Structure formats: structure tokens, C-alpha cells
Structure 1
Amino acid sequence: MSIQMKDIEFQTASYDQWKEEAIKALKGKPFETLFTNLAEDVTLSPLYTQSMLVDKLGEDLEKQIATIRSLQSSEQLLAAQQIFGDTAEQFFAGLQDSIERGNNCITIDSRTTFKWEEENLQKLASYLIEYPFKFIVQNKNDSLLQVFNKFEQADKEKVNGFIISDSPVELDDFDNVRTFCANTVTYHYEGANAVQELAIALAIAAKQVKENNFEQFSKNFFVNFAIDTQFFVEIAKLRAFRVLWKAFSSAYGVTNPIAVPIVAENSLRSYSKLDVYVNLLRAGNEAFSGLIGGADAFTVHPHDVLSKPTDKSIRIARNVLLVLKEESQVENVLDPAGGSYFVETLTAEFVEKAWALFLEIEEFGGFDAYVESGKLQASIVEVYNDRLKAVETRKQSLIGTNIYANPVDELPAETNETFASIKRLPIPFEQLREKYNAAQPKIAILTFGKLKDFKPRADFVAGFFATAGVTPDQSGEILSVEIAKEWLQNVNYDYVIVAAKDEDTKELVPTLLSVKPENLILDAAGKFKDEQSEWLEKGLNGFIFAGQNIVEKLNEVLESVKGVQQ
């Protein structure tokens, strides 16, 4: 007799039962180690259940889901790929190619290397009649905006798009062009977390709506977000905005608010000039977050955009989004993250915290007053410093930069000035590469004992220095203290790290310190709290260990090496 799978019922387990099994699996580690603290001052649980979600939100759960779904601005995400070109000819060739290959929202940053002369503006206008657009301009007098003088009155209603500017741009008779933008990308690149970005978006909206009719303002308003690598955080951020927008509208007496478009781009905060193809993975992750979170238009930056994009990298960036759209089938599902115990809980927590921060900004006198007081900048800088510390200590991984780095990878000579001011997290490691490349220190690892004994620490040290573009020499198996002494006295290195088992290191280091050349710097791999003071007094430079601030340590090493080189 065959058993039908649909007839089988599995025994359900309670949270307490799961917790009991989890504690056993941890083998003595505290259960609290399974919880994760986010930059948004939210603690993630290792498990979310239906009962936990219902207990937290109750009847508000259905309202939250219904709000998010009803305020979706469009059914499909627009591929809004930026057009590049050194000359007007290259630019328009790229524009035409992008449209033919799937781009459906012409995205232009006005900071081009060529001028927007009459002929270029007229040519661009012909495209804007047919295709939606996204403009990034510097101010309301930007030369790119002269394109709106090139339309006949009858064609103005055909023009549809978004203008991102620090201050609203005034256009006459372009009813389908949204010019009131809550641009949070600037603050994102200063280090803002998701809660801060959401509160900033509402505060900017409150500032802009004061001088406008709310209904008319809503028709002209949109928000611009950068999407970072924290996959579920970014999904929750976009979903939370729609809930917050309804609450914001309710404050103006509007019970059925107009859906506001969410324009987004993948963040360059984690983009690195090192091992640039890893940026493709970051872009794909971020684009998928935007797609699931319900963005209405999305820009994927090429993996080499920090230096100079090529035709190939531009095409790959465009295809990242197109493949996600076509292959995932996410667009065929309304609010694909809806109902997830984890995402719904995270969405609700972001709504709660962002609304509280928004009210704090308003009570202080509004967005401008809050900015002028320095409170906003101070809070963002604090978050940025925490992010940077997490990267420098490897609590947050940047593959190819602070971990699994390729030491022979070279920094590109060119720099894209458009994005040069972004406070990217990999910058300290890129600076390390430049410093070490200029100094060319002679570095080696003294590997003591059998391969199986020293290999874990030797590999760790090699990976540590790979982040600075250095491949240390290795002594190979040294099996006696006498040979180790002889090796150290006869080598020509500026800096040596001892890599061995704890008991071997404790035996070896004091002996080596008594014979090491005066101009050679010696470090030990590992933590030796009991021996630390004694060894440092006898001339040990320091230690290399997991959890250490890599940037600080490598800068200290370089300064010490420069001292002995002189």
C-alpha cells in the first residue's frame, strides 16, 4: 500500500522545544549568541513564529499587509540604467543601445564630460516623448533641465519621469513629471541606517508639503533610496515606507492616499575598487532586495563604476536586473515578502522606530532645524563609525577586500569623480594597498613545527596581510628552537610574525627576542594575555589575532617598518 505524502502530518514543535534543541547544539555557548543586533537598533531573533508575529502586531498585521499592497505604485519595476559616454556621440549611442536591449527608463546624471548644447537637448527631447526617464541634477538651474524647453505644448503630457534634485524643480504643464523628491541617497552615503533614511524621507516630505496643496504635492512626490547589502533589512525598508506614507497622509486628513513611487539604486557603500567582480554579487543581492521590496524603478551600477565603466560592464549591470525580473517571476506576485513572519516583524519595527524619529525631527522644528542643530549629522556619523569598525574588525565581511583578498590585485588608476565623495567602507583597505605598495616592506612568517600545527595561523596571517596587497614569505617547517634562532638572525626582513601552536609560541618567542636583530620587528600570531606584558617589555612589537582592527594594526606595522628602514 503506497503512502500519499499529502496525508502525512508532521509533529509541530513549540518555540521552547526549538530553543532547548538549539541550546544543546550550541555546546555551551550562550543562547544569546544567536541574536543579531542591527545598525537600526533592532535585535533579530534566531527564529520567528506565527504566534510571535500575531502577539506583536495583532489586528495591525492585516492593516500593514493591506496598506503595503494597496500603495504599490506600479505592477512592474522599471529598469532605470544610467547612460554613460565621454562624448555626446558615445552617450546617445549608449542610450539607443540600452533601449534596444531592455532598458525602459532613461537615467541621466547631468554631470557629464560633454556640454548639454542645443543639438544634444533637442535629440534628448525626442527620446523623452517615448520613454520614461530619471534625471539626477545638481540644482534647479542645471543645464540638463533646458531640455524641457524643447517640447511642443501637445507633447508635454507624453513626458513621464522623475527629477532628483536637492530642491524641487518647477516645470510648467508637465503633469507626469515628478519633481518633489525625498532623496535619502545622500544621507545613506554618509552612513545612515534604514530607520534614519525612512525618517528623513518623511521629514523632507513634511518640509516640501508645507507650501503646497497635499493632493497636488502627492501627485508630484516620490522617494529615492539606495539599497544596501543587508537583504532582508532593505526589503523591510521599502515595505515600511508605504506604511509610513499612509500614516503621514493621515496626519493631513487623507484616508486614501495616492501611491508614491519608490525610485531606488543599488548602494555603492560596499563597492570596492579591489576585486571588482565581487561588486557584481553585491549588485545582484541589492537589486533582488529592491525587486522583492517593491521598488518602482531601479538602477544597477556597473561593477567598475568607481573607476570607469566599459560597454561590457554597463551591459552586465543592465542584465543583472533584467535576468532577475524575467527569471525570478517575482513581478507576478503582489508583495512577495508579505506574510513572512520575519519580514513582517522587521517591517513593523522599522515603522515604529522611523515614525518616532520623524516626530522627534518635527518637534525640534522640522528638517532644516534638525540638520542645522547638528543632531542628524552626529547620529549618522555614529552609525557610520560603527559600520566602519565592524568592517575593520571583520565582524562584517567585504569579500575580496577585508577577507579572501587577492594580494596581487591592483587598484585602478582612474577614478570616477561622480562617486569619489561617497564614504565607502572599503576605502581604508584601498588606502592600505597604496601605502604598502609605496613602502614595499619585507615581511615573512616564521612557521614553527609541522605543517598541520602552524598552517591555521600562518593562513590567517597571510590573509591578514593580503588585505594590504602583501604576500609574506614563509620559512617552511622549522622543527627546533636553534634552527629558528639561526633563521631569524640570518634573514633580511623588516618584519616577522611567529606562527605556531600556543605551547610552541610560548617556548619560542622569549628565545627569539633575545637574539633578534635590532632593526627587525617581531610579532606573534595569537592572543597571549598572560605573557603579553613580559614579551612586550623584552622587545616584542605586538600580536596578530582574530577580531583585531586590521586597519589600525597594519598602519601601526607600516609605521614601525618605516622606522627601521630609516
Structure 2
Amino acid sequence: MSYNAWENLVKKQLKTDDIYSVLKKENLEGIEVKPFYESVEQPLVNLPKIEENTHLVANYHESLIDDVFAFLLDQNVENLEQKTIFVNNTDLAGHISPKEEDRYFSLIDVFDEKEAVINDQLVKELLAKQFRRNICVDISLHQNAGAAIYQQLGIALAKTKELVEIYGAEILNKLVFRIAIGPNYFFEMAKLRAFKIIFNQLSKEYGLDEIPYIFAETSLRNKAVSDKENNLIRSTLELASAMIGGADAVFSNNYLVDRNTENSEEISFKQQIVLAYESIINVFEDASNGSYYIEDITQQIAEKSWALFVEIEEAGGYLELLQQGTIQKESTNMP
């Protein structure tokens, strides 16, 4: 259907010529969403991910050992062979001595948000490990605190810049970005895609051509203690957004907010299994590529995020603004 044909049809159905005042909807991100797309001004190239297939990550339990290939570990487990391991505990990381063939990734954030510093000793200890990715930049805490999408991504770049200035540009391919996925289905797909664009843009400032490693997890911000069924629906949509958006690994936080049970852990993980095995959305590199709508909002989010990153840098950088309290204030007050 052409744009003119669509416009005439909608005018007839809405019984008004002023259809755009009816169809226009504001959103908290400040992103312009059109009611109809027939093209995109500047089509994006395919946005790759690092892993061939998105890892489906489960909290470790011995009952899952034969069926799960990627675990999140908070405590030491012996003889985990041919598994992908995401280490979520600082003390555990200190005791692990991976072999070269092991696939270990760090989810340990090296930023001390309270003191507004980078834990230099921890960074050096983690970099000495034979992990596939040694340093985690945790953006999930900003999403869960109320930050807008462009704020999350602008902060992610600002944190990355702080690390590069201290440890050099070679640290870029040692990073894992831990990102919480919110409820805005298409916007969250665009968020991951936009981050790939601006991270690559930052890497090119240092003569590199890097892709971010994205560990995506379900948000805690929109889950309720007394609404467990809706929690499941929300987290399923968030996982789908992450897979379609091109995350390298996905993890579902327990849908029972106030307690963890063996059954709830299993159900939370099996959301990923159903999505992956029934729709195979975890195998595509950039499943939403070519969608005019998602392409358009991806570019808008990328532009807003980069502009915020530049603003943070001009104001002294992430740690400086964190020390001043600016980051905390802005992250919890969406526009």
C-alpha cells in the first residue's frame, strides 16, 4: 500500500482530515514515532553480534547440567566442562583459574558507584584471568533505577571512555555490557541495535572496529510481588526483544520477586527455551534489520545517546558527574 492510499483510508476510517493529531502519541523517550513507514532515510547495514547463537543463560543447578550450555555462577562448581560460564561473584572470580579452552565471562562491575571510582585493583586482577571477556560494564542498575533508554546508552559509553582512558583502547574487546531490557518491546530491540552503532563509533575514534558483547537480562523495574503471572508475560516479551535485538546472551531474573524456588528458577529459564526452540530467534544475527520502524527509532536513539555521551564528556566525564550527584539525579528523573 502506498503512503497516499494509506492516508486516504485512515482519513475515511477516522472521519477527519486531521489524522496526525489523532494518531500522534508522545513517549517518555522523546522519540518520534510515525504512524506509517514506507522507507527509511538512511538504511542501516546489518548489525552483527559476537556469538553465533544467543546464549540462553540459567542460574546453576545440578539438575540442569545435561540440558544447559551456559550458566550464571555465584559460587564455585567443580568440573563444569564444555560450558559457557558467566561469573557473577568477585570472590569466586578470584579463585577461578580457567584453562585456555574454557569460556568464562565476567559479570563483575568494576565501577564503585558509591565512591565514584573505578576499582583499579579489581580491574587488574580480572584482566590477569584467562576469561573471554574480563570486565563488566553494568548498565542494568541504571535501567532499574529509572533511566531513559538514551540515558542508559549514553552512560554506557561514558563508562567505557573512563576505562579506555586508564587502561587503553585494547580493553574494548575485553568488556561485557550487562543491560536490563524494559517493557517497550520495539524500543528495546532498537536500544541494543543503537548501542552497537555508537559503541562501534567510539571504537573507531581509537582506530578500531569493535562490536560490544551484550549480556541482556529481564528488568526488575516493572515486576510486582503480587503479580507473578504478569511478571512472566513481561519477562517473556523482554527476552524476545533482547534476542531479536541481537544480544549475545540472555538471562531471565526470577519472576517471583520476593523469593526464589527451584520451580520458579526452572520456569524463568524455560521462557528462553520456548522462545529459542519455537521461533529460533536466537540464531539470527540482526533479525529486525530492514524494518523501517525499528531502523528509524534505532537511529534516533543512537543520535540522542551519542549527544548525551558528548555532553557528559564535556562536563568532565562519568566519574566526575557521579561524584557531583548529577548522574544519580538525571537517571532517576526521566524527561
Which residue in the other structure is 1:49 paired with? 38
Residue of structure 2 aligned with 1:161, choices 98, 102, 105: 105
Aligned to 1:133: 85
The 2-side partners of 1:130 and 1:286 are apart by: 28
Q: How many angstroms apart in 1 are the aligned matches of 2:246 and 2:65?
A: 23
Q: Residue 274 in 1 paired to residue 201 in 2?
A: no
**Aligned-residue offset at 1:241:** 1.0
Q: Which runs of 4+ in 1 moved over 4 A?
A: none
TM-score of the aligned structures, taking structure 2 as reference length: 0.89
Contact 2:195–2:302 (CA<8 Å) still a contact in 1? yes
Q: Does 1:265 align with 2:254?
A: no
Aligned partner of 2:254 in structure 1 is: 302
Gaps of 5+ in 2: 112-121
Which residue is 1:104 aligned to? 69
User: How far has the Cα of 1:125 moved from its partner?
Assistant: 4.3
C-alpha displacement of 1:237:
0.5
Say whether the 8 Å CA contact 2:181–2:188 is kept in structure 1. Answer: yes
Q: 1:526-545 to 2 correspondence within 5 Å?
A: none
- Distance (whole Å) between structure 2 residues aligned to residue 27 and residue 378 of structure 1: 45
Q: Which has more radius of gyration?
A: 1
Identity %: 27
What secondary structure, in the 3-state scheme, does the structure 2 residue paired with 1:330 have? coil
TM-fit CA distance, 1:333: 3.3
1:377-526 equivalent positions in 2, closer than 5 A: 377-383=328-334
Paired with 2:323 and 2:105, the residues of 1 have a C-alpha distance of 32
- Where 2:137 maps in the other structure, the secondary structure is strand
Quick one: distance in 2 between partners of 1:224 and 1:237?
A: 13
Residue aligned with 2:332, SS: helix
Change (3 A) 1:186 1:365: same
- Whole-Å Cα distance in 2 between the matches of residues 364 and 332 of structure 1? 41
Q: 1:172: how far off?
A: 6.0
CA positional deviation for 1:335: 1.0
- Return the match for 1:236 from 190, 199, 215: 190
- Structure 1 residue runs of 5 or longer lacking an equivalent are 1-11, 84-94, 111-115, 387-566
Task: Confirm whether residue 314 of structure 1 aligns to residue 254 of structure 2.
Answer: no
Residues 23 and 232 of structure 1, relative CA distance in 2, 3 Å threshold: same
* RMSD over equivalenced CA pairs, Å: 2.1
1:206 aligns with 2:186: no
Choose between structure 1 and 2: higher helix proportion.
1
Aligned match for 2:27, one of 27, 38, 57: 38
Q: Assess if the C-alpha contact under 8 Å between 2:240 and 2:275 holds in 1.
A: yes
Which whole-Å deviations, capped at 9, do the CAs of 1:238-278 have from their partners, x for residues lacking one?
A: 11111111110111122xx2332100101121111123111
Higher RCO (CA 8 Å, separation ≥ 6 residues): 2
In structure 1, the residue matched to 2:58 is 81
Separation in 1, partners of 2:318, 2:127 = 27
AA matched with 1:23:
K
Q: For structure 1, which segment, 374-383 or 242-251, has the greater mean C-alpha deviation from structure 2 after superposition? A: 374-383
Q: Distance in 2 between matches of 1:338 and 1:221?
A: 25
Does the CA-based 8 Å contact 1:77-1:295 persist in structure 2?
yes
- Equivalent positions of 1:104-123 (< 5 A) are 104-108=69-73, 110=74, 121=76
* Residue number in structure 1 paired with 2:94: 146
Distance 1:331 1:303, change over 3 A: closer
Residue 372 in structure 1 maps to residue 326 in structure 2: no
- CA gap of 1:176–1:135, structure 2 versus 1, over 3 A, is closer
Structure 1 residue 176 displacement after superposition: 2.8
Q: Is the 8 A contact 1:361 1:367 kept in 2?
A: yes
Q: Which amino acid aligns with 1:40?
A: E
* DSSP 3-state at the match of 1:382: coil
